[in-house]
Structure 1
Amino acid sequence: MSPRHSTAEAARTRDRIVQAAVLDGSRLGLEGLTVGTLAQRLGMSKAGVVGPFGSRDQLLRAALEQACRIFAAAVTEPLKDLPPGPDRLGRLIDGWVGYLADCPFPGGCFVTAASSELDGRPGPLRERLSEIVASQRRALAAEVAAAQAGLPGPHRPAEEVATTLVGLSMAANQEIQLLGDPSAPARARAAMRHAAGLQP
């Protein structure tokens, strides 16, 4: 096998492991994800599963990063050509709720579940998750502020609106995943648009 093919095969193996880790982590939690379970599921040795990452912790981090990329591809990347403003924020909310309603993860929103799981567990994984969530909050507050500039006032502080939107999304995730409520997405969309000062 040539070095190029060997590198490509290693990358495919790494991607396959990460995808399996994301799915298992969604169902079992990141802390509940074991190398043995992954190895059995993938038909690999434990050393083969951990090898591309160096450690279980780095594997878990790779799963977290991949889950965030999946969220971004579904919710924020489709907006990249839209100028900041009310329409963009409305579409962000619609995409966000759509992601929750038809979630690619069997356990619902990965970051929401990981936040509940890791909030009281110090360590590098929690620190990285905290960085991700803080960055997402700042970006959301900036979207809200840009939308408010195009809407009649007065307005609540953008950071407060962002907190409200995150809270509503977490409630929607629970109603969709735990309660199986088919009316939850429409209700969440309406509530989030109202909180943002947008038309229903």
Structure 2
Amino acid sequence: MTEQLTTDGRVRRGDRTRRVVLARAVDLASVEGLDGLSIGRLATDLEISKSGLIAHFGSKEGLQLATIRAARAIFVHTIIEPTLERPPGMDRLRGLLDAWLAYSSDRRFPGGCFFARASHEYAARPGAVRDALAGIDDEWLGLIAETIAGAQEIGEITPDVDPVQLAYEVDSYLDSANLRSLLGRTGVYAQAERAVRDRLAAVAT
């Protein structure tokens, strides 16, 4: 029994350490990029032993992949889960896109959208990190397209619209606002919101 309690306590401490490290890692990577992450840097920032972090993540790439997974979990919790509580249709679609704009403009990550930053950094660099980012991008665009198709099924979007194409278009408005906000432009989120609203109005029944 004593051995079990000791083991359970060690596991809990390990989980807490991992959460603390990844919370710092996602914020840091959103500003400085995934290349800015290193086990040594995080060990120093958080006053944790380097050997302890190596035991958790194994390598820099392992740390980067864990950071991407942690950022994805935050993204899902912040944007997707609340939106999926809405009934299918145009309201859910607008909610999904509005939630993304709020997530970027409210700086859920200090550097804006974590995935925009990381994807620009790794787009031309084949490997496990790029594959993970590409998979998440596919998930996001797929969800928008699926939501558009759901609105079509209940007659709120015209049947001649290609959900994949429309998803690409509205997502481009989001990415544009995120990038230009980081360049110091003002009013870009309002512009993106208007662009999304006008585009959806053009395809609404």
TM-score by length of 2: 0.89
| Matches of 1:197 and 1:127, distance apart in 2 | 35
Task: Tell me whether 1:108 sits opposite 2:108 in the alignment.
Answer: no
Count of residue correspondences: 198
Structure-2 residue corresponding to 1:157: 162
Task: Tell me whether 1:143 sits opposite 2:147 in the alignment.
Answer: yes
Structure-2 residue corresponding to 1:169: 174
State the Cα RMSD in Å: 1.7
Structure-2 residue corresponding to 1:88: 92
Map 1:22-41 to 2 at 5 A: 22-41=26-45
Structure-2 residue corresponding to 1:132: 136
Alignment equivalent of 1:189, drawn from 171, 175, 193 = 193
| Matches of 1:152 and 1:145, distance apart in 2 | 8
Structure 2 letter corresponding to 1:91: G
Structure 1 letter corresponding to 2:26: V
Instruction: Mark the runs of 5 or more structure 2 residues left unpaired by the alignment.
Output: none
| Matches of 1:60 and 1:173, distance apart in 2 | 22
Structure-2 residue corresponding to 1:11: 15
Task: Tell me whether 1:178 sits opposite 2:183 in the alignment.
Answer: yes
SS at match of 1:128: helix
SS at match of 1:151: coil
**Conserved in 2, the CA contact under 8 Å of 1:93 and 1:193?**
no
TM-score by length of 1: 0.92
Once the two structures are TM-superposed, the CA of residue 138 in structure 1 deviates from its matched residue by 1.2
| Matches of 2:117 and 2:13, distance apart in 1 | 32
| Matches of 2:117 and 2:90, distance apart in 1 | 29
| Matches of 1:99 and 1:188, distance apart in 2 | 13
**Conserved in 2, the CA contact under 8 Å of 1:144 and 1:196?**
no
Identity of aligned residues (%): 34
| Matches of 1:152 and 1:9, distance apart in 2 | 50
Once the two structures are TM-superposed, the CA of residue 50 in structure 1 deviates from its matched residue by 2.2
Structure-1 residue corresponding to 2:72: 68
When residues 74 and 53 of structure 1 are mapped into structure 2, their CA distance, relative to the original with a 3 A threshold, is same
Runs of at least 4 residues off by over 6 Å? none
Structure 2 letter corresponding to 1:159: V
**Conserved in 2, the CA contact under 8 Å of 1:148 and 1:155?**
no
When residues 138 and 152 of structure 1 are mapped into structure 2, their CA distance, relative to the original with a 3 A threshold, is closer
| Matches of 1:119 and 1:192, distance apart in 2 | 26
Structure 2 letter corresponding to 1:186: A
Structure 1 letter corresponding to 2:52: G
Once the two structures are TM-superposed, the CA of residue 33 in structure 1 deviates from its matched residue by 1.6
